[in-house]
Amino acid sequence: MTKRLRIGGVPEHFNLPWKQAIDAGAFEALGIDVTFTDYPGGTGAMIAALAAGELDAALLLTEGAVADILNGSNNRLVSVYVDSPLIWGIHVAARGVIRNVTDIEGKTYAISRHGSGSHLIAIVDAAERGFRTADMSFEIVGSLDGARQALANGTADVFLWEKHMTQPLVDAGEFRRVGERVVPWPAFVVSARRDYIAEHTNTLNAALDVARDFAQRLKSGDGSAALISKSYEIELTDAQSWLEDVRWSSDARRPDEALERVVAALRAQGVVSATAPLELAAMLWMQA
């Protein structure tokens, strides 16, 4: 009987190892039917798909995955996927009047959806800069393409997204990057439905081991930067820089201190209840 795993992720270079493993037949060789679905809408869209039973697991931004669980979902974290932190670019329309990051206070933020990374990190960044987060306004745009339209037509003023994926838009003169926000925790985690974890532990662990192997191959491969550049339409030098900085996780150890930093940030910004305990890493995690 073929085992099945339906997993989702953003259509970005972080998730290329999964697609390479599928193309190479690595999962099929273990009797696992892995279906990978791209979600341009990001973490919020994948959380909705998990809730609807359309996905078994997803590669989510850590802060979004943690907020999802603390707000009562039936998902649990099973592994860190990308150890290195995400670098968020803070973008405005290149032809607009905003020239400095200090000018974004009080402006409307484009977000893929509520609960997404573009939403949560916009709040975290604003708080770190001393802006009034209670007065922030948001425009739901669904995806990077939606944000491009919103900034172009003026329905939103600011957009936070992974800087390497937006670099072509900066280079083309469509976006202006006025600042960056680096968050002090791993970029992506694997979140899965509790029922799937309980019933398909061996399948999930085997699939994650394959993905980790292909991630390390991509990290050290001689032609990896050129492949990333071609596949995601970014300059070779940008692909090389990203590949040097990214660190995929090689094991399933629980990052207790990092998770506590996430919870503290989410509590401080009112994304989760202020009474949510800080030392709850064990509650967020379910051993696969």
- Domain definitions of the chain by residue range: 3-85+185-284, 87-182
Query: Can you give the length of the chain in residues?
Result: 288
Note the pTM of the prediction, 2 decimals. 0.85
Q: Is residue 262 scored above 70 in pLDDT?
A: yes
Tell me what pLDDT residue 1 has. Answer: 56
Please list the residues that pair with 161 across neighbouring strands: 89
- Tens-digit pLDDT profile for residues 90-147: 999 999 999 999 999 999 999 998 878 899 899 989 988 999 888 899 999 999 999 9
Percent of the chain clearing pLDDT 90 (strictly above): 75
Q: Reply yes or no on whether the pLDDT at 24 is more than 80.
A: yes
Residue 15 has pLDDT above 60, yes or no: yes
- 282 pLDDT band, cuts 50/70/90, is low
Q: Name the more confident of 288 and 140.
A: 140
Per-residue pLDDT averaged across 62-82, rounded? 92
Q: For the structural domain made of 3-85+185-284, what CATH number should be given?
A: 3.40.190.10
State residue 116's pLDDT score. 81
pLDDT of residue 263: 86
pLDDT band at 276 (very low <50, low <70, confident <90, very high): low
**Mean pLDDT of the 192-203 span:** 96
pLDDT score at 166: 93
Percent of the chain with pLDDT over 70: 95
- The pLDDT assigned to 138 comes to 96
Domains 3-85+185-284 and 87-182 equal at CATH topology level: yes
Per-residue pLDDT at 266 = 82
**Which of 252, 249, 239, 255 has its CA nearest to residue 213?**
249
The pLDDT of residue 275 is 63
Instruction: Domain 87-182: state its class.
Output: alpha beta
